[in-house]
Amino acid sequence: MFGAALGDIVGSKYEFMPIKSKDFVFLDDGMDYTDDTIMTVAVAEALIDSDISKEEETKNNLIASMRKWGRRYPHPTGAYGSMFSSWLRSSSPKPYNSWGNGSAMRVSASGWLYDTIEETRKAAMLSSIVTHNHPEGIKGAEATSSAIFLARTGEDKESIKRYIEKEFGYDLSRKIEEIRETYSFDGSCQGTVPESIICFLEGIDAEDTIRNAISLGGDADTMGAIAGSIAEAYWKEDLSEMVKPYLPDDLYTILSSIKITQH
């Protein structure tokens, strides 16, 4: 879970100042957690307290948790998206057919909490559809959580790549160097999730994976969060001490409640 927060924090500096290099200071005082980490915590708390076989109850828990944490932290670095901000303020929040990558940035808990990939994907779907009910939004959340689950349970990179390509139709055959040449900011799942997974596939550890994601010059905090969450699961690195100085205690506590599972 700390991989998502670490990628978010490191990427926060470069979301609006994109870079096309892996050569940058990895953590400094100009970085901060953003809405990505806040909503990752919100989804985690809701799923911990939910039985996903009870879909309506789970969706209600997710809505309540996201609204609680969104109101507790109303002005994060980078800000919430305009449609999500309206959803947070609404007296009767409804999904708004988004394919944005918000569904993928916040989904990592579903990759950690369940014993099967079917449960993982169901939890990811439920966490997405309360806001991002467009098929691409759901697909992005499921693909991200599936990659985390497979990484956590000991699958190698080639197996993860094959599964994601087969199940979700993403092209993961591209290389970072060729993507970087023409890539720019993209807030969609379809334009960020496959690229973030590629950054993991070419990475050598969590830090290198996050550097890959930020070096594309796109939605740096969100791509860092997606790629970092998969990398943490794959290499089973303890990233908590890197993240702790940047997070309030309540956010840190929720992330700490989901432990790395060795397989």
Would you state the pLDDT for residue 1?
86
- What three-state secondary structure class fits 243? helix
Q: DSSP string spanning 66-115?
A: HHHHHHHS-S-BT---HHHHHHHH-SS-------BTHHHHT-HHHHHS-S
Would you state the pLDDT for residue 244?
97
Looking up tokens 């947070």 gives 88
Would you state the pLDDT for residue 259?
66
Where do the structural domains in the chain lie, given as residue ranges?
2-256
Looking up tokens 């978010």 gives 8
Would you state the pLDDT for residue 263?
36
Would you state the pLDDT for residue 98?
98
Would you state the pLDDT for residue 48?
96
The secondary structure of the chain in percent helix, strand, coil, rounded to multiples of 5, reads: 60, 0, 40
Taking the domain 2-256, which CATH number applies? 1.10.4080.10
pLDDT along the chain (263 residues), means of 10: 97 96 96 98 97 98 98 95 95 97 98 97 98 98 98 98 98 98 97 98 98 98 98 97 97 87 39
CA distance 178 to 55: 41
Would you state the pLDDT for residue 261?
42
Looking up tokens 């916040």 gives 106
